[in-house]
Amino acid sequence: MEETKIYLSEKDIPKQWYNLAADLPTPLQPPLGPDGKPISPNMLEAVFPANLIEQEVSTKRWIDIPKEVIEILYRWRPSPLRRARYLEQYLKTPARIYYKDESLSPPGSHKPNTAVPQAWYNKQFGIKKLTTETGAGQWGSALAFATNLMGLECKVFMVRISFDQKPLRKIMMKLWGATCVASPSSETKAGRDILAKTPDTPGSLGIAIAEAVEEAVLDKSGKTRYSLGSVLNHVLLHQTIIGLEAKKQLAKVGEKKVDVIIGCAGGGSNFAGLSFPFVCDKIHGKKIEIYPVEPTGCPTMTRGPFTYDFGDVACQTPLLAMHTLGHGFVPAPIHAGGLRYHGMAPLVSQAIVEGLLTPRAYNQIKCYESAVLWARTEGSVCAPETSHAIACVIEEALKAKKEGKKKVILFNYSGHGIMDLGGYDKYLSGQLQDYSMSEQELKESLESIKNLPKAPVKKTGKW
């Protein structure tokens, strides 16, 4: 019988990241400043170190992974490629389902794949401290993990409601030496202003980003920068190690062709990490269906327009051409905290416009139903975000059964849900709400972008 777990030797870990910007048929539209004019890379230098800005704007196809970064990644990489044999048997599908297990990193998700190189490049640039925001805590703990290994300081602004409700994530950051404060805090002007107006606010990612950026930019030593866990080009770049490993592992078990690629998408980084090396194959002629999956409670790709929008609620970031629900979007309290972002990575968004990707949306009840089936067949407890990918996988596996096709399905198991079991409890008790976005809610949410510059929907269709 074939192995359930397909490992790669450490010496076969990819030595370069893949940059989709080199192959995307239509180049990305430029980020715009507050004046509506394209910004230049050096305008970002107060926020990010120059070596990461260079990656952000690069159109080189392959970018070397520093040896020192690889040495750190060995703690959990190459991650196993696994065959979901037990789910296949339950579904009686002829499809072969494979998944990259990104839940095995110490913080429990794919996030450290970029936290580690980001911390490393900052250190190379002479930076001593990183600031960031975190919602549910996955990104904050990944950056704490990485900065600890690199000997950098780390300060995480954690959205107040998560800070109070998720004490475990907070302790994890502390364990790795980071300082974690509830946002809004009294430590920044942005925080103090909000607290003065609404002392009881539960906080938001928008506020936390504002605080983290302010603390980085205002540090007079010039040795502090800000770090982001998704959306940006260099973040997606770092995640492509996932898909590059998967290719080698599939080859190892003799799989010559992948038919379907699936990943959940919030800011887009875990999805891009797995899929971009295959998107490259698709651009060069291979027939692959590629599905980024989102919640119907935050339907950025399936219902949001492709246009210019801010990355944050406070309108501090450059304008990016992307799918968006509008930066004024107030997310419903769905459990998949990592999928509650109003925008989508520009690279993923442009690939959707090009027709390379086919977004799908599922409501969280169906997702938890899928996650419970997963836990009761494969055994493991997936993150609420990952359950969206699994819902799509099950649908595709049943479709293959109906069609009698021996398809190969590959998806990204982006993280475990051991610290997020609350949503499972609600589902199992029949208390979980759907929270799909209504037409009215969408209309109201898009109000926030009506006066912003429009991004032209450009596509070549040539691939």
DSSP state of 32: B
Structure tokens at 338: 């990592």
Residue appearing with tokens 């972008």: 449
Q: Applying CB under 8 A, does 175 fall inside the site for its own copies?
A: yes
Phi and psi at residue 360, to the nearest 5°: -135, 155
Over the range 356-391, which residues count as b (16 or more CB within 10 Å of their CB) and which as e? bbebbbbbbbbbbbbbbbbeebbebbbbbbbbbbbb
Closest among 238, 242, 240, 239 to 81, alpha carbons compared: 242
What CA–CA distance (Å, rounded) separates 311 from 429? 36
> In the set 379, 404, 430, 461, which binds its own copies (CB under 8 A)?
379
Q: Applying CB under 8 A, does 421 fall inside the site for its own copies?
A: yes
Q: Applying CB under 8 A, does 76 fall inside the site for its own copies?
A: yes
Least distance in angstroms from the C-beta of 187 to its own copies = 20
Q: Which residues contact 34 (CB under 8 A, 6 or more apart)?
A: 315
Q: Report helix, strand or coil for 177.
A: coil
Least distance in angstroms from the C-beta of 75 to its own copies = 5
Closer Cβ to its own copies, 176 or 341, answer by number: 176
Q: Applying CB under 8 A, does 179 fall inside the site for its own copies?
A: no
Q: Are 169 and 162 in contact (CB under 8 A)?
A: yes
The phi-psi region of residue 217 (left if phi > 0; otherwise alpha if psi is between -120 and 50; otherwise beta) is alpha
Q: Which stretch binds its own copies (CB under 8 A): 124-132, 174-182, 255-263, 390-398?
A: 174-182
> Binding mask 391-420 vs its own copies (x if CB under 8 A, - otherwise)?
---------------------------xx-
Q: Applying CB under 8 A, does 381 fall inside the site for its own copies?
A: yes
Q: What residues from 270 to 329 belong to the interface with its own copies (CB under 8 A)? A: none
Least distance in angstroms from the C-beta of 84 to its own copies = 10
Q: Applying CB under 8 A, does 253 fall inside the site for its own copies?
A: no
Least distance in angstroms from the C-beta of 380 to its own copies = 5
Q: Applying CB under 8 A, does 58 fall inside the site for its own copies?
A: no
What CA–CA distance (Å, rounded) separates 21 from 280? 10
> Binding mask 94-133 vs its own copies (x if CB under 8 A, - otherwise)?
----------xxx-x-------------------------
Around Cβ 234, how many Cβ atoms within 10 Å? 24
Q: Where does 354-385 have alpha helices with state H?
A: 364-377
What CA–CA distance (Å, rounded) separates 49 from 124? 9
Q: Applying CB under 8 A, does 358 fall inside the site for its own copies?
A: no
Closer Cβ to its own copies, 116 or 393, answer by number: 116
**DSSP secondary structure of 82-111:** EE-HHHHHHHT-S-EEEEEEGGGSTTSBST
> Binding mask 139-158 vs its own copies (x if CB under 8 A, - otherwise)?
------x--xx---------
Q: Applying CB under 8 A, does 164 fall inside the site for its own copies?
A: no
Around Cβ 233, how many Cβ atoms within 10 Å? 20
> In the set 9, 42, 438, 440, which binds its own copies (CB under 8 A)?
9
What CA–CA distance (Å, rounded) separates 247 from 447? 43
Closer Cβ to its own copies, 67 or 462, answer by number: 67
Q: Report helix, strand or coil for 235.
A: helix
Phi and psi at residue 343, to the nearest 5°: -110, -170
Structure tokens at 302: 């399936």
Phi and psi at residue 229, to the nearest 5°: -95, 0
Q: Are 17 and 241 in contact (CB under 8 A)?
A: yes
Least distance in angstroms from the C-beta of 188 to its own copies = 25
Least distance in angstroms from the C-beta of 392 to its own copies = 21
Closer Cβ to its own copies, 157 or 368, answer by number: 368
> In the set 64, 164, 193, 425, which binds its own copies (CB under 8 A)?
425
Closer Cβ to its own copies, 101 or 396, answer by number: 101
Q: Report helix, strand or coil for 11.
A: helix
> In the set 40, 43, 62, 75, which binds its own copies (CB under 8 A)?
75
> In the set 5, 257, 406, 443, which binds its own copies (CB under 8 A)?
5
Structure tokens at 437: 């976005």
Closer Cβ to its own copies, 57 or 70, answer by number: 70
Q: How many residues bind its own copies (CB under 8 A)?
A: 41
Report the half-sphere exposure of 51 (CA within 13 A, side-chain side).
15
Least distance in angstroms from the C-beta of 112 to its own copies = 9
Q: Applying CB under 8 A, does 86 fall inside the site for its own copies?
A: yes
Least distance in angstroms from the C-beta of 332 to its own copies = 22
Q: Applying CB under 8 A, does 59 fall inside the site for its own copies?
A: no
Binding site for its own copies (CB under 8 A): 1, 3-5, 7, 9-11, 74-76, 86, 104-106, 108, 145, 148-149, 167-168, 171-172, 174-177, 372, 375-376, 378-381, 418-419, 421-422, 424-425, 428
